[in-house]
Structures are given as structure tokens and as C-alpha cells.
Amino acid sequence: MGAGYQPCAGGAGAQMTASLAADSAGPSLPFQCGHDGLLHHFFKDTQPMNFDIPPEIAALRERTRQFIAEQVIPLESDPRHGAHGPSEELRRELVARARAAGLLTPHASVEMGGLGLSHIAKAVVFEEAGYSNLGPTALNIHAPDEGNIHLMEEVATPAQKERWLRPQVAGLTRSCFAMTEPEPGAGADPSMLKTTAVRDGKDYLINGRKWFITGAAHPRCQLLIVMCRNGNAAEQAAHQQHSMVLVPLNTPGVQVVRNIPVVHHRAPEGHCEIVFRQVRVPKDHLLGAWGQGFAMAQARLGTGRVHHCMRTIGQCELALELSSERALERSAFGKHLSDQSNVQDWLAESRLEIDQARLLVLKTAWMLDFGQAPASELRAQVSAIKVVAARLQTRVVDRAMQVFGAMGLSPDTPLAYFWTWGRAMHLMDGPDEVHLRTVARHELQKARQRMGQTAAYFTTPEQMCAQPHLSA
């Protein structure tokens, strides 16, 4: 990485965590992070946004690209990599390779064994990992673990970090984030949570039901971060009624009911329905402070959305590369597809949309690392890229599948897998409609603040009634 590499103290993304938490209308969280990070030598807070990639990050990008090409992509044809993902044996091999290459869990802090990357550096690395559907697994940057790692970095106690975080950063264990519930519980609206955590002596008692909990079926999953409604919620303000509790998966009363397929894709790690019946955990399993669950959820989901978008850029670049080369080699109706005007339009549209999305993601990363934007603006920006990335993936991959024809629907290419997750992105971590509303509300709030400033652009009634003025 070079002698100039200085990771952000306190873990990458602490400013984002604090900002998004503050924007939740709940209590501000005491998260602080000095930005003496990797990019501070290149991007000062007083400087305008710079679109150049600094040499240290460019070198990291090349190292990641080489690792994915030489160490990961060849394993996509390994018999241990089935239609629904890698076996545990293959996952361990991928993790070992990333560890040897110095690329394992790069977003974690140096103290925990990561590289302490800034958001801009993560944008570059995560994109490169997206060139293979095994890339995020190899680098240990897949959901939900990457979001859980970030959250625990910021709020977990030293004892919790040693027990739960350090082995996860090392790729030895996995975890889940259990928030979503079946009706009438919470989906996009966490205020509707029905799962409860009640203080009972020296313990918490947890009761409820969660579903679409990614990772719960993985053999290495050991921990659930459970979002709960407090037992004394009625006594608290609206955004202080929730808490997060660390629940070992093998705790009595925790039952994984089923692994729910997503668009006919049954992931081996699972998107599971889980029941909690009188689940008892000690009070030292509380994550963060009692009543700060809503604020922490906003912060945790915010980083997760950014990371999803970063990985999406890489997947879309690969889809465009595959479809471009296929268009050059495939013929129909007497000429190559590359000579068909509609196919040329598809390729051009995909290029434009990918580059637009990448710039928006990099802007967001810059704002998180070095910007001084208000919390509401930051939250709107994160919502914006979440919508853009989901739309990008479904459009770009859909065009690529059209170029490949029926082959694009098969496991002979990664396109069907990419499209599935592109479609899922329209819903996971909040549906498009919720994020569009966040962006719209921000625009309307700005309009209220500047109300009247656009009057000069309108013709007033008085002007309409005035006598015509003829110029000489």
C-alpha cells in the first residue's frame, strides 16, 4: 500500500454513522472519526471534489483486479461452485487466498485486521470484486457481514469486538442482521417492529419472528444482530423505542424455520425465517445503548446501501464487457449483432448509465469521507444511489441477456445471477419508493427554504395586465 497509507482512526465510515443517526430524529450517537485517512493527503476538506484516483488507491485497485482475475475467476468453474453459490470448502479456500494477498476484509479497521479503507477506496475495491460473483465472498465484503462489521466497529464494547467481531473480520465466522418481519411487522418501516426485548433481571427476553434474514443458514453463521422493540417502548420517544441485541444463533428458543428462495434462487447461506421464543441472553449482549436501535439501524443500513451500489458497478461493467464481446462474435440475419443498430444503442446506453452511476457513487463516497453536508443531504444522497444502482443493474444486465439470447438465462454466464440480485435490490434495504420519497422530501425542504427566489422567472399578473411596450 505504500508508506503514505494511513487508515481512518476509529474505523471507516464513522462520520456517516453519526450523520445518518442524527438524521433519524433520535439521539445523536457519540461516533467520531478523524479523517487522517488514506485520501487526506490528496483531498483536503477545503478542496473541491477531485475525480482523479490517487496513486495508492490506483495501486490497490490494480492489486485487487489482478487477484480477482488470477485467483478468483478461475474458481468459478470449480465443481464446488454450484448454481446457488460456493460450498463452505470453497469459501474457506477463497478466504485463505484473499488473506495471503492482503485483501481480506479490507473495509475493517487495521486494529481488527483489515485495511481501514475510506469510502472512496472501498468504492474502487468493491467494484473490482464485483467482476466475479465469488469476489465479495473471497474478500469478505458480502452482505450482511460487511454492514455488521461496520456497525460493531462503531458501537460494540471491547469484549464484544473480541468475541464476535475479530473472528468475523478474519473470515472464520459469519453473522446476520435480523430486522425485517412478516406482516404486521416491519418491512420498510422499522417503527412497526413487533419483536420485543424485555429486561428480566440480568437478562433480556426476546420474542418475535423475522424473515428474509440473509446468512442465517450458513454453517459458519454464529451471531444474529436482532432489532427489537423495547419492553418499555410506550414510555419512550418514537425514535428511542428500539434496541439491538447480540443473539448467538445456537441460543435456546432460536428456530430457523425455513430458507426462503429469492426469485427461485435458493442461496446456501439462506434468506431465512426465524422464530424467537423466550430467547434469553445476558444484558452484556446489548449492542450500543438501550433505545438507540433505530439510530444505529439507519447508520448500518446506510453503509450497507452504499456498499451494495459499489459492488453493482463492477457487476454491470462485467455484463457490458460480456455483451460487447458477444455482439462481436454472434451473427444473425446475415450480420454480426454488433452491426445491428439496436444492439449498438443498448451498448451505448449501458456505458452511459454505468459511468453516470459510478460518478454518483464516488460523489457519495467523497461526501462521506470529506464532505461537510448536512445529515439530511447525506441521507438523500445515499437514497439516490440506492435507486440508481438497482435500476442500473436490472437495465444493463437485461440488455446483456438479450444479446446472449437463451444462453443469458442459463448458468453458462453470470448474467441470470446478476439480474436476480439487481431485481432484489429494488426491494432490499428499503424499496425504491421509500428512497425516492427521501430524495423528494429533501428537495421540497430546500424549496421551502428558498421560497420566492424563483419569482423572477415568472410573469406576474400585474405584468400580464400592463400595456404592451414596443421597443424602438
> Is the CB of residue 395 less than 8 Å from the CB of residue 347?
no
Q: What is the mean pLDDT of residues 445-450?
A: 92
Residue 199 β-bridge partners: 204
3-state secondary structure of 183: coil
Q: What is the pLDDT of residues 251-289, one digit of tens each?
A: 999 999 999 988 877 777 889 999 999 999 999 999 999
pLDDT band at 419; cut points 50, 70, 90:
very high
DSSP string, 235-247: GS-GGGSEEEEEE
DSSP string, 68-131: IIIIIGGGGGSTTEETTEE-HHHHHHHHHHHHHTT-SSTTS-TTTTS----HHHHHHHHHHHTT
Q: What's the whole-model pTM score? A: 0.80
| pLDDT for residue 3 | 35
What is the CATH class of 174-287? Answer: mainly beta
Residue with cell 490497490: 60
Q: What is the mean pLDDT of residues 33-50?
A: 46
| pLDDT for residue 440 | 97
Residue 208 β-bridge partners: 276
Q: What is the mean pLDDT of residues 357-371?
A: 88
| pLDDT for residue 51 | 66
| pLDDT for residue 260 | 92
The backbone torsions φ and ψ at residue 431, rounded to the nearest 5 degrees and listed phi first, read: -70, 160
Could you tell me which residues come within 8 angstroms of residue 31 by beta carbon, excluding any fewer than 6 positions away? 10, 14, 15, 17, 18, 21, 154, 155, 299
What is the distance between the alpha carbons of residues 205 and 105, in angstroms, rounded to a whole number?
33
What is the distance between the alpha carbons of residues 418 and 249, in angstroms, rounded to a whole number?
29
Q: What is the pLDDT of residues 125-141, one digit of tens each?
A: 999 999 998 999 999 99
> Is the CB of residue 104 less than 8 Å from the CB of residue 112?
no
* CATH topology (fold) of 295-449: Butyryl-CoA Dehydrogenase, subunit A; domain 3 (1.20.140)
pLDDT at position 243 over 50: yes
pLDDT band at 14; cut points 50, 70, 90:
very low
Closest Cα partner for 111 from 152, 83, 52, 62?
152
pLDDT band at 47; cut points 50, 70, 90:
low
Lowest mean pLDDT, pick from 21-25, 151-155, 221-225, 445-449? 21-25
For the domain 14-169, what is the CATH code? Answer: 1.10.540.10
Closest Cα partner for 54 from 71, 37, 73, 41?
41
Q: What is the mean pLDDT of residues 376-382?
A: 91
What is the distance between the alpha carbons of residues 74 and 68, in angstroms, rounded to a whole number?
9
| pLDDT for residue 189 | 77
Q: What is the mean pLDDT of residues 325-330?
A: 97
> Is the CB of residue 307 less than 8 Å from the CB of residue 385?
no
Q: What is the mean pLDDT of residues 242-258?
A: 97
C-alpha distance across the termini of the chain, in Å: 71
Distances (CA, A) of 410 to 72, 141, 312, 361, 401: 21, 26, 20, 30, 10
pLDDT band at 470; cut points 50, 70, 90:
low
Q: How many residues appear in the chain?
A: 472
Q: What is the mean pLDDT of residues 460-470?
A: 74
CA dihedral 313, 114, 287, 261 (to 10 degrees): 40
pLDDT at position 13 over 80: no
What is the distance between the alpha carbons of residues 48 and 371, in angstroms, rounded to a whole number?
10
| pLDDT for residue 40 | 44
Q: What is the mean pLDDT of residues 406-416?
A: 93
Q: What is the pLDDT of residues 195-238, one digit of tens each?
A: 999 999 999 999 999 999 999 999 999 999 999 999 888 788 87
- Which tops the pLDDT comparison, 302 or 336? 336
Q: What is the pLDDT of residues 142-193, one digit of tens each?
A: 889 999 999 999 999 999 999 999 999 999 999 999 999 998 877 777 778 9
Distances (CA, A) of 163 to 96, 113, 133, 365: 21, 14, 29, 30
3-state secondary structure of 180: coil
The backbone torsions φ and ψ at residue 77, rounded to the nearest 5 degrees and listed phi first, read: -95, 5
What is the distance between the alpha carbons of residues 329 and 345, in angstroms, rounded to a whole number?
17
Closest Cα partner for 20 from 341, 417, 300, 437?
300
Closest Cα partner for 422 from 264, 312, 262?
312
Closest Cα partner for 108 from 223, 239, 12, 247?
12
What is the distance between the alpha carbons of residues 28 and 20, in angstroms, rounded to a whole number?
9
Distances (CA, A) of 450 to 436, 442, 443, 447, 456: 21, 13, 11, 5, 13
| pLDDT for residue 15 | 45
| pLDDT for residue 452 | 86
Closest Cα partner for 422 from 296, 319, 304?
319
Q: What is the mean pLDDT of residues 98-113?
A: 96
3-state secondary structure of 282: strand
Exposed e or buried b for every residue in 394-427, given b needs 16+ CB within 10 A? bbbbbbbbebbeeebeeeebbbbbbbbbbbbbbb
Q: What is the mean pLDDT of residues 90-113?
A: 96
pLDDT band at 375; cut points 50, 70, 90:
confident
Q: What is the mean pLDDT of residues 242-252?
A: 97
Q: What is the pLDDT of residues 48-92, one digit of tens each?
A: 666 678 899 999 999 999 999 999 999 999 999 887 788 999 999
Lowest mean pLDDT, pick from 16-25, 394-403, 434-443? 16-25
- Calculate the average pLDDT of the chain: 86
Distances (CA, A) of 466 to 101, 461, 462: 76, 9, 6
Provide the residue ranges of all domains of the chain, joining segments of one domain with +: 14-169, 174-287, 295-449
